[in-house]
């Protein structure tokens, strides 16, 4: 019995350590230091000018969007953390704690614990990708009246180009993504008032959310040039991570706090270096090694099949029922190391015929 107690204590300590990467008192890192009101963001000459290159400001975008949209998402579940934007907030926290928001070129101390720890480097591939999935929905939410204040302009670091900083500018340079975020925010009220069953309302609004999210991911392909700062191993992981979004989006994954923690905990807690080969990376946990192995497997199989695995998966996610099964399957695949990958392929085949 003592051994059982010790091993269960150990496993709960390990779980706590991995959770500590993305959670602090059950919420994303430094959440308590973010802005609870729009007016707490930086102002210049009476105009709100938030700084998306500061971690706390950028994380505040999510906190404010969650607070502004929560009243229209009561059908999503029973907890206070059902909003799909929790997934993005946790992802940003993981990027920070794993060192992925720091300057990868090493030419500044931006994002380093020894430098400006709250700085997000425009040279970071991860910080660049996340700029789009934070700034665009934030500006759209403000424009659609969900923040109670209009956001005129976001700060841009001197000499940095390629990042739109106003609603008008982002709508011009990334019209597809902005149109889809506008559509998401505009769908919130009618969906909440709809007489459809809650599970169908939930599936419907998550569908609109993921369409906007994926359009934003495609818009951020300009960030790809920044991958060259990293090892081939980190670049490969970044590609797999982008690929995995296609599966999650097609299943209308409910990226609330609880589910997102399951997916983010096993992500690598540091930037991958040359020579890192999962599942045998000594200083990463078994869970981190397993998720890297699965990511790599999914990417390789899809490449071998000429991209048809993603297409088949999208085809299989044709109804509320198959999307429910798809969500469970992805969870099993990433969190259960003994889950047979063959089941994944047979499921896709079986579901495609059902559609």
Q: Give the end of a domain, one of 209, 228, 247.
A: 228
**Same domain, yes or no, for 28 and 157?**
yes
Angle at 257 between CA 266 and CA 101, to 5 degrees: 60
DSSP code per residue over 259-310: HHHHHHTTS-SS---TT--TT--TTS-HHHHHHHHHHHHHHHHHHHTTTHHH
Residue 7 within any structural domain of the chain: no
**Same domain, yes or no, for 343 and 280?**
yes
Query: Cα 131 vs. chain centroid, distance in angstroms?
Result: 11
Residue 290 CB partners (closer than 8 Å, separation 6+): 266, 278, 279, 337
Distance, CA of 82 to CA of 79 (rounded, Å): 6
Residue 105 within any structural domain of the chain: yes
**Same domain, yes or no, for 129 and 239?**
no
Query: Cα 203 vs. chain centroid, distance in angstroms?
Result: 18
Nearest to 146 by CA among 207, 211, 213, 62: 62
Distance, CA of 171 to CA of 177 (rounded, Å): 8
Q: Give the end of a domain, one of 202, 228, 254.
A: 228
Residue 77 within any structural domain of the chain: yes
**Same domain, yes or no, for 210 and 63?**
yes
**Same domain, yes or no, for 253 and 209?**
no
Residue 151 within any structural domain of the chain: yes
Digit-by-digit pLDDT tens for the chain (355 residues) are 444 444 444 444 444 444 446 678 889 989 999 999 999 999 988 889 999 999 999 999 999 999 999 999 999 999 999 999 999 999 999 999 999 999 999 999 999 988 899 999 999 999 999 999 999 999 999 999 999 988 889 999 999 999 999 999 999 999 999 999 999 999 999 999 999 999 999 999 999 999 999 999 999 999 999 999 999 999 999 999 999 999 999 999 999 999 999 899 899 999 999 999 999 999 999 999 999 999 999 888 889 889 888 999 999 999 999 999 999 999 988 888 888 888 888 888 888 888 8
Rounded to whole angstroms, what are the CA distances from 124 to 62, 76, 84?
Answer: 20, 34, 25
**Same domain, yes or no, for 223 and 86?**
yes
Residue 9 within any structural domain of the chain: no
Count structural domains, the chain. 2
Q: Quick one: pLDDT at residue 13?
A: 44
Q: Which domain holds residue 85?
A: 22-228
Distance, CA of 99 to CA of 111 (rounded, Å): 7
Distance, CA of 306 to CA of 95 (rounded, Å): 30
**Same domain, yes or no, for 193 and 282?**
no
Nearest to 211 by CA among 296, 127, 317: 317
**Same domain, yes or no, for 108 and 62?**
yes
Residue 11 within any structural domain of the chain: no
For 268-298, the pLDDT digits (tens) are: 999 999 999 999 999 999 999 999 999 999 8
**Same domain, yes or no, for 151 and 244?**
no
Residue 330 within any structural domain of the chain: yes
Residue 17 within any structural domain of the chain: no
Residue 54 CB partners (closer than 8 Å, separation 6+): 118, 119, 120
**Same domain, yes or no, for 66 and 203?**
yes
Angle at 148 between CA 179 and CA 164, to 5 degrees: 40
**Same domain, yes or no, for 176 and 318?**
no
Structure tokens at 224: 């790809």
**Same domain, yes or no, for 214 and 85?**
yes
Torsion-angle region of 157 (φ positive above 0: left; ψ -120 to 50: alpha; else: beta)? beta
Would the pTM of this model clear 0.85, i.e. be above it?
yes
Q: Quick one: pLDDT at residue 21?
A: 60
For 15-59, the pLDDT digits (tens) are: 444 444 667 888 998 999 999 999 999 998 888 999 999 999 999
Contact at 8 Å (CB) between 139 and 167? yes
Backbone φ and ψ of 172, nearest 5° = -75, -45
Q: Give the end of a domain, one of 203, 228, 253.
A: 228
48: three-class secondary structure by DSSP:
strand
């Amino acid at each position: 019995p003592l051994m059982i107690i010790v091993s269960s204590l150990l496993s709960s300590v390990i779980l706590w350590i991995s959770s500590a990467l993305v959670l602090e008192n059950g919420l994303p890192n430094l959440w308590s230091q973010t802005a609870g009101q729009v007016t707490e963001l930086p102002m210049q000459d009476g105009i709100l000018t938030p700084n998306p290159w500061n971690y706390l400001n950028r994380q505040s975008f999510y906190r404010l969007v969650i607070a502004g949209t929560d009243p229209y998402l009561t059908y999503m579940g029973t907890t206070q953390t059902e909003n799909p934007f929790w997934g993005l907030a946790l992802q940003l926290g993981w990027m920070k704690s794993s060192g992925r928001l720091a300057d990868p070129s090493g030419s500044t101390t931006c994002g380093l614990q020894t430098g400006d720890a709250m700085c997000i480097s425009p040279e970071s591939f991860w910080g660049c990708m996340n700029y789009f999935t934070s700034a665009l929905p934030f500006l759209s939410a403000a424009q659609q009246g969900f923040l109670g204040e209009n956001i005129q302009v976001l700060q841009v670091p001197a000499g940095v180009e390629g990042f739109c900083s106003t609603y008008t500018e982002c709508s011009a340079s990334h019209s597809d993504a902005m149109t889809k975020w506008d559509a998401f925010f505009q769908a919130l009220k009618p969906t909440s008032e709809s007489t459809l069953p809650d599970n169908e309302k939930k599936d419907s609004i998550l569908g609109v959310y993921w369409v906007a999210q994926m359009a934003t991911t495609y818009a951020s392909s300009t960030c790809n040039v920044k991958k060259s700062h990293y090892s081939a191993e980190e670049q490969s992981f970044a590609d797999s991570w982008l690929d995995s979004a296609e599966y999650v989006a097609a299943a209308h994954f409910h990226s609330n706090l609880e589910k997102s923690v399951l997916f983010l905990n096993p992500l690598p807690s540091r930037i991958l270096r040359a020579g890192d080969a999962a599942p045998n990376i000594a200083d990463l946990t078994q869970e981190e090694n397993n998720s890297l192995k699965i990511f790599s497997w999914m990417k390789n199989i899809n490449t071998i099949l000429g991209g048809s695995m993603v297409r088949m998966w999208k085809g299989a996610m044709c109804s509320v029922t198959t999307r429910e099964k798809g969500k469970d399957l992805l969870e099993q695949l990433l969190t259960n190391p003994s889950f047979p990958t063959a089941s994944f392929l047979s499921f896709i085949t079986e579901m495609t015929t059902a559609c």
